[in-house]
Structure 1
Amino acid sequence: MNKALSPLQWHRPLMLFVAGMLAVAIVSVGGLFFDDRMLDGEAIWVKPLKFGVAMALYGLTLAWLLSRQQRFRRTGWWLGTVPAVTMTFDVGFIVIQTVRGRYSHFNSESDPFNQFMQPLFADAVGLALLAMIGLGVLMLFERGGDRAITSSIRLGLLLTIVGMGLGFLMPANISAEQAAADKAGTGILHGAHTVGAPDGGPGMPITHWSTVGGDLRIPHFLGMHSLQVIPLLAMVLALLATRLPALRAEGTRLGLVRVAGAGYAGLLALVTWQALRGQSLVHPDGTTLLAATGLVAATALAATAVLVTGRRRPAAPLPTGEAVQARAAAAAR
């Protein structure tokens, strides 16, 4: 196991990317106060603010993941550099379009700058997705350390890749209004977040996810942030294991992480299905509620089975103070 690195020693391009995204978020907060322009019923600086915060979390998590890598570290460094560069380009384009008062996504306006940048904008996302797939493959070769933490990273990467892929549903979501505008030769946008209702309608606070139709941003968001959620769960379980004998066996924690990963995948499938049916997250019908209830019940039963099976294993010795510190350090790497 490599010596633990401080965050300042993590993957430098990604940490610079994180700093840049935090700067975007700060500038966007200022924009909300000093720029009253609106786009699709939303303050124009909300989009770069959300992207700045989300990408900062994404970059920080990816840098942490690479700091734990034991094998193929040079390949991992290059694969981590790809999203640092491509996502800097994409968020930079979003900021430029915000300043210009133009759409950054789904925009087919004929001005030369937009026509040149839109294909590059889309290609950068594709390159970042390929890099994440490469990192997922590398993680299959990682050995050593806490198996529950390692498994959580693999599951988080897998679901993040799925979440990034689900983002491609939005450009393919051509509304009836857009199709009519295309036919009339007046079309500007090709793609939408909302299914069953126009973009820019009533939405939830902060996220602005639609409350009147399905919203494809929801599965995209949940998938992208699985890389934070599932490893965080594994680290919480590792800390709780110092106090709860039922979690002391590594196999028990590993089983719970796998159950959580399967449950999260089920949730991702559920909200994708709900969005594609044009149904708002906050107004589920009976079929959606039944599916959600089944998912919760199946996840709870599986977690219970893991805990019951774990009790039959020989109890692991209570960690010493040094062992607790070593485990916490390993989880933080």
Structure 2
Amino acid sequence: MTALALSTPGLFAALDRRQPLLARAGWASLALLLLCLAAMTVDARLINGVSVWTKPAKFAASFVVWFWTLAWAWGVLEPAAQRGATARLVLWGTLAAAWFEMGWITLRGALGQPSHFATDPLGDVMYQLMGAGAVTLVALAATLGVLVLRRGDATRQARGWIFAIGWGLVLTGILGGLTGATISGAGTSHIGGMPSDAANLPPFYWSRNGGDLRIAHFLGVHAMQALPALALLLPGASTRLLALGAAGWTAMTLAVFAAGLLGVPLP
């Protein structure tokens, strides 16, 4: 199947058939997102000028999309590849790293403490471990992408669709890893300007008075959706055209990344 010509219930059922653990992890993340949004309405505490539940909500939303994208990609693999050791590593490594990250971020939000760039001893140690978890997540996404490119089921999938799914995941690993590692190494996502999120626009709260490396990180990790979306918009597109799309997304991400490093704010 090269297109999402499904009703909404049919799409969710397809996700569950493709990889039930990832599909249900997405539902669990959605439930957590709704709980965080509800908590915002009754909890007035702030971190960095915004609700203590903002970061858990953003990460929960991100993991909904992450899990469901990987579940869909799973169905592109040959049946034997789905049962192989590499696929099992991707599956269990992703679930472990994602729920470790999500659990700690949510706990810190509930305690009214920052999960990222924390200054208390435990928070600092856990932030380092979260960095390892983030590297694990993008590396496993890229691993799944390589597996799709090598062992995509060409008897049931168009070549362009396999290319788009595989390279989208690989680019997520590369671009998400590069931008995420830079943020971690810099000790901040803000370059110039004030680091408070209070004056920035929801839901992402990207900086409007200085550079913000989170924008490039967002683009990088969503390459896994961008390239398949291009394949859906251009049915029957050649791999050469899709490769141009991948190059364009990469160039845009790197340009936004460079602007952030230079302290250039959003327009």
Partner residue, 1:150: 162
State the structure with more CA Rg.
Answer: 1
Amino acid at match of 1:206: P
Instruction: Please give the TM-score of this superposition, normalised by the length of structure 1.
Output: 0.70
1:98-117, Cα deviation, whole Å (9 max, x unpaired):
0111110111313xx43553
Residue among 14, 17, 20 paired with 2:25: 17
Alignment of structure 1 residues 154-233 onto 2, 5 Å: 154-165=166-177, 166-173=179-186, 191-201=187-197, 202-233=199-230
1:213-253, CA deviations, whole angstroms, 9 ceiling, x for partnerless residues? 11010011011111112102212322xxxxxxxxxxx4x44
Residue 15 of structure 1 and its aligned partner are, at CA, apart by: 2.0
Query: Which secondary structure does the structure 2 equivalent of 1:161 belong to?
Result: helix
Name the counterpart of 1:84. Answer: 95
Further displaced range: 260-269 or 196-205: 196-205
Dislocated runs of 4+, deviation >6 Å: none
Match of 1:276 in 2: 261
Query: Is the alpha carbon distance of 1:254 and 1:130 closer, same or farther for their aligned partners in structure 2, counting shifts above 3 Å?
Result: closer
Mean Cα deviation higher: 70-79 or 98-107: 70-79
Percent identical residues: 27
Task: Note the alpha carbon deviations across 1:135-165, whole angstroms, 9 max, x for none.
Answer: 2331231351212111111221122112321
Q: 2:35 aligns with which of 16, 23, 27?
A: 27
Tell me how far apart the structure 2 counterparts of residues 119 and 16 of structure 1 sit (CA, whole Å).
28
Instruction: State the one-letter code of the partner of 2:159.
Output: R
Greater Cα shift, 225-234 or 215-224: 225-234
Aligned runs of 1:1-333 on 2, under 5 Å? 6-70=14-78, 72-73=81-82, 74=84, 75-110=86-121, 113-114=122-123, 117-143=126-152, 144=154, 145-165=157-177, 166-173=179-186, 191-201=187-197, 202-238=199-235, 250=236, 252-282=237-267
Query: Alpha-carbon deviations, 1:298-333, whole Å to 9, x = none?
Result: xxxxxxxxxxxxxxxxxxxxxxxxxxxxxxxxxxxx
Deviation at 1:126, TM superposition (A): 2.3
Is the CA contact (8 Å cut-off) linking 1:210 and 1:280 kept in structure 2?
yes
Q: CA deviation at 1:31?
A: 1.1
Q: Which runs of 5+ in 2 are unaligned?
A: 2-10
The question of whether the paired residues in 2 share the 8 Å contact of 1:14 and 1:63 is answered with yes
Distance 2:125 2:200 in 1: 32
Distance 2:139 2:234 in 1: 31
RMSD between aligned residues: 2.0
Deviation at 1:43, TM superposition (A): 1.5
Report if aligned partners of 1:274, 1:281 keep a CA contact under 8 Å in 2: no
Report deviation, 1:29: 0.7
Which amino acid is 2:213 matched to? L
Q: Which residue of 1 aligns with 2:5?
A: none
Count of residue pairs the alignment pairs up: 249
Matches of 1:81 and 1:10, distance apart in 2: 15
What SS is found at the alignment partner of 2:232? helix
- Provide, for residues 42-68 of structure 1, a one-character-per-residue CA deviation record: whole Å limited to 9, x for no partner: 111111111111110011000100111
Structure 2 residue matching 1:140: 3-state secondary structure: helix
SS of equivalent residue, structure 1 residue 212: coil
The verdict on how the C-alpha distance between 1:204 and 1:102 changes in structure 2, with shifts beyond 3 A counting, is same
Shift, 1:10, TM fit: 2.6
Aligned partners of 1:216 and 1:275 also within 8 Å: yes
